[in-house]
Structure 1
Amino acid sequence: MSVRYNDDFKREVVRAYMAGDKSTVEIATEYNIAKSTVSEWAKKYSEECQYKKNTTPKTSESDSAKEIRRLNQELREKDKEIEFLKKAAAFFAKEID
């Protein structure tokens, strides 16, 4: 399944990358994208983001990027819960036999 991201989300990732306070791996994890995607987007959007760096007011697209990050974090937490419950179910199923 291929996920398509809008240009504003890509620029948000590139701005985070250009800020320099996080590694590519940290940014990829935070935005739930591949490390290679961060690098690819940085090549494509870095010049554009350099000139627009924090000069535009926050838009709903920026809010959308924050919401995507929040939802990705929630999804990772739910995945951990599901994995735990699978292990517990297997343990108790083994006990019943």
Structure 2
Amino acid sequence: MESKYTKRYSDEYKRDAIELVRSSGRTVTDVARELGVSSESLRAWVKKARAPEAAPVTAALSPGADDRDEELKRLRKLTAEQAKTIEILKKATAFFAKESDR
């Protein structure tokens, strides 16, 4: 019989939580508090993912890691292009604002 206090988390949720710990640079406790997860549970998930024998398990939990890396590169490039576009539009707006005041 399962305790009413025991929560079950999906593999996807665990994978995302582990990735958040790895990518954010924050402590496990901070991330656990933000997610509403026990810090002991999150710490165990991270430890299990770091274990050498967990490589196949981690690969199974994160299918398409290469696809995500490519998507991340594409999105970063797109973000840089949009930032340039925004800067150009700001300058154009300032130019036309000056012109309309004349």
TM-score, normalised relative to structure 2:
0.45
Higher relative contact order (CA 8 A, sep 6+): 1
| TM-score under structure 1 length normalisation | 0.47
